[in-house]
Structure 1
Amino acid sequence: MTTTRITAADDTCDDEGPGTDAPLLLLVESNTTGTGRQFAQRARACGAEPVLLATDPARYPYAAEDGLRTVVVDTADGDALWAAVTALAADARIAGALSSSEYYVATAADLARRLGLAGPSADAVRACRDKSAQRRTLAGAGVPVPRFHVAGDVAEALAAARSLDGPVVVKPVQGSGSLGVRLCRDGDEVAEHVRGLLAATVNERGLSAPGVVLVEEYLTGREFSVEVFGDEAVVTVAKHVGAPPVFVETGHDVPALLPAVQAAALVDSAVRAVTALGLGWGAAHVELRLDGDVARVIEVNPRLAGGMIPELVRRALGVDLVGAQVRAALGGPVGLAGTADAAGAASIRFLTAAAESVLTDVTAAEEAARAVAGVVDTAVYRPAGTVVAPAEDFRGRVGHVITAGATPDRTAEAADTALAHGLATALAAVVPTGAAT
């Protein structure tokens, strides 16, 4: 296992920007929300020129808005991607390769290996992204996980559900952002959901989808994540999840307030999971549920957390996880010591619709949210007049509010208030066509 060097150094770069002969940091695709833009910003602050390699750069509006250098290439075609990288290397030194997207972390790791640069084990990342292989590895290493089965057809899934004797969670073995994750309470629901998952031959990025699903026991304990960097836990995050049958993340609190025994169990399970999977370079986002005082690993993501968690960690602790990931990719030491001016705690709540709704006065809603003490950021992602449906996964979130303050209980209360009495006022029920007014 390759361990990222963690030092007590200042965790910011010089912020002088790249020079004319700056080395390149290759960014293979990006996530569509959250930290994608920040990866490029941190690269520039560290004196490197970010270069986005993407099949369709227009998928990421920030690239054009920020004047990001882009190379159009089929990132699913290994030969084409390598040819593009070789062409770049003919004119400039390539110093690192990264991806902020779940779907391309293994591709970026492969590039880093071929270039002789810093990065995680591509084989470990690839195996980790397959949740069935991940679960088998963790169970074999004695890391607590839910009971589970892997199924390749409806009959196998139904047999798995019967053996687990209760409601089960059915999910694709690859994916991100709760896509395709669903609670199934009986055989009919299992069969219907499995048929839908197995009918998809490609995922939402157009990449080939494996023809198997994961069927696991439904754990009802509280959900958390542990953000790991290298082989050390940075912080534990309390997660808020919407009502079943879907599992949309509706908020986070940093740091989580927990009894010492449970806090230790979460960190122990998370670090053991990262070690068992052969990771230990850069960031890993480990999701867990408490089962009594046992912390069971739901999944390990070999990348930074989504859901604006890195931004919460920066505001609460003064630790810049995005910058740390960029510096690690560039081969430098990584400083994860917090800053003295950090708030101490931070929370986020996401705006979702309980029923089909239309966004009305977005500006007034944002202003009302910002009027709540402790609010440091708020946004609605879509313009007024947009009709929105109840969220099935992260794509159904239509806004957020972030708060910062001295303690997690205060920031959580402020975020709840700003969401309910601020952002949520932007949602109005859709009146069916022809209904009386």
Structure 2
Amino acid sequence: MSKRALILLEGNTRGVGLLYVQAARRLGLYPINLSADPTRYDYLDAEKIETVRVDTNNLAAVIRECSRLGATYDIAGITTSEEFVYVTAGKLCRHFDLPGPNPASIEQCCDKLTQCQLLADAGIPIPAYRLAQNARDVEDAAAEIGLPVILKPAVGCGSRGVRLCRTAEELAEHTIYLLGGKHIWQSLPRILVEEYAEGLQYVASMMGDELVGIAAAKFGAPPHFVYREFTFPAVLTDKEHERIAHVSRSCVRALSLGWEPTNIELRWTKRGAVVIEVNPRPAGTPVPQLVQLAYGIDLITEHIKLVIGEEWNLRRSHSQTAAGRLLLPDRDGTLNWAGDVSLATAVPGVAEIKLYVSSKTSIIRQGDNRDWLGHVIAASPSHGETNAILQRAVDLVGLSLTQFPP
């Protein structure tokens, strides 16, 4: 009898990719990774994962490889944890008649302009926005909306190219960055100019149209929007929770999603919950780990069950508070892990510590998720205790940077 295989497109170096491999094995599946560059993912060799080097942006090439693998294995499902190949995964599922997301829905959701239009048409609260294709458009849009504004590429992920512009000088500077050849565009250059929605940040995790939970989130230093910390569950009033849940479900319906896991970024402003962005995929590290620690729900295992056509289960087995800190540099320089990771890991309540880069690495901040140097995750019965555990562990890890010589 041939092995039941799970095809995983690309991967993730910060923990989630390995979690998909481990979950697949627990479900009795044989994980196979397809990637344009498998050497990016160190866990593939460590876990002895069968890998295929293929251009994952070339649908025909990926179909050929999956057809070849299908002659040896019983392909039970195809999926990914990465947004940039999620449309490809959906198209592969359609081609091979496997359970999967609607690629057209994913594609329109990944285009932030189309997403804004669909959400606005459905009456869902979002920031005011305008499309700009050149510097004059940006200037006019910012004048119409009013500073401060956020500039972001219409297609992209990981906060790349996203910046808060508070003055005309910052607006001009970031426009030059985006249109002057420094930013790598995933599509034709189109800029969204958005109203800056002030308020606390939240991330709602959905599976289909069912709300799994809501995390509170914090960013690193402005003007960029690099996530620094998540706490799950967020401390909310019943009214706030009910409103965020309602808006999140409305987003899923408005964008014709509802099959796949999604994560929805919101801010609680003077006018209540305002949707910043909808991502048609599971949230990345550390959200899946926090959900499991807080509620006992393994989002990645349940996602794979969905992909292979099995019944998924979001029933909670316990309730506690979990928090994750993403380690960010406060300057450019040479990285030194000045503490003791083993001591930090031994702190009661610490669930996971992962460092993404080694000491003596040269760090130049990018203003997006490439700035993450590692993460620390902790859990306990209360928010206060969890925060104290997290801070103690972070201090013991001892992130330090030596500035480059002038």
The aligned amino acid for 2:283 is: A
- Check if 1:130 corresponds to 2:111: yes
1:96 aligns with 2:115: no
Q: Does 1:106 align with 2:87?
A: yes
Contact 1:225/1:285 (<8 A) preserved: yes
Change (3 A) 1:316 1:89: same
Rounded to whole Å, the distance in 2 between the matches of 1:316 and 1:360 is 32
TM-score, with length taken from structure 1: 0.88
Q: Decide which of 193, 211, 221 is 2:189's aligned counterpart.
A: 211
1:165 aligned residue (141, 146, 168):
146
Q: Does 1:356 align with 2:332?
A: yes
User: Aligned partners of 2:138, 2:179: CA distance in 1, in Å?
Assistant: 11
In the other structure, the counterpart of 1:191 is 172
Paired residues in the alignment total 406
Where does residue 274 of structure 1 map in the other structure? 252
* Partners of 2:313 and 2:250 in 1: CA distance: 22
Superposed, which structure 2 residues align to 1:113-124 within 5 Å?
A: 113-124=94-105
> Does the CA contact (< 8 Å) of 2:220 and 2:226 recur in 1?
yes
SS where residue 125 of structure 2 aligns?
coil
Tell me how far apart the structure 1 counterparts of residues 138 and 337 of structure 2 sit (CA, whole Å): 46
Q: Equivalent residue of 1:337, what SS?
A: coil
Match of 1:143 in 2: 124
Q: Note closer, same or farther for the CA distance 1:223–1:152 as it changes in structure 2 (3 Å cut).
A: same
Equivalent residues of 1:171, 1:214 under 8 A apart: yes
Cα distance in 1 for residues equivalent to 2:285 and 2:73: 34
Cα distance in 2 between the residues matched to 1:410 and 1:308: 19
Letter in 1 for 2:77: G
What's the CA shift for 1:201?
Answer: 9.4
Q: Distance in 2 between matches of 1:255 and 1:127?
A: 30
SS at match of 2:340: helix
> What letter corresponds to residue 314 of structure 1 in structure 2?
Q
Distance 1:295 1:328, change over 3 A: same
Farther off after superposition, 382-391 or 137-146: 382-391
Q: Deviations over 1:237-269 (max 9, x none)?
A: 000111210011001000000122212121111
Q: Deviations over 1:333-378 (max 9, x none)?
A: 00111224xx61100112212123433345x332443354422222
Q: Could you tell me which of 228, 234, 238 is aligned with 1:250? A: 228
**1:347 lines up with 2:328 in the alignment:** no
**Residues 166 and 73 of structure 1, relative CA distance in 2, 3 Å threshold:** same
Query: Structure 2 unaligned runs (5+)?
Result: none
List, as ranges, runs of 4+ consecutive aligned residues in structure 1 with deviation greater than 6 Å.
Answer: none
2:216 is matched with which residue?
Answer: 238
User: 1:30 Cα deviation (Å)?
Assistant: 1.9
Residue 181 of structure 1, aligned match among 128, 152, 162 = 162
Task: Show CA shifts across 1:296-316 (max 9, x none).
Answer: 111011101013100111111
Percentage of pairs with the same residue: 34
The aligned counterpart of 1:416 is 391
Name the Cα RMSD after superposition. 1.9
1:85 shift after superposition = 1.5
Q: 8, 24, 43: which one pairs with 1:27?
A: 8
Check whether the contact 2:16–2:285 (CA below 8 A) recurs between aligned residues: no
Matched, 1:430 2:406: no
TM-score of the superposed pair, with normalisation by structure 2:
0.95
Q: Is the CA contact 2:286–2:377 (under 8 Å) kept in the aligned structure 1? A: no
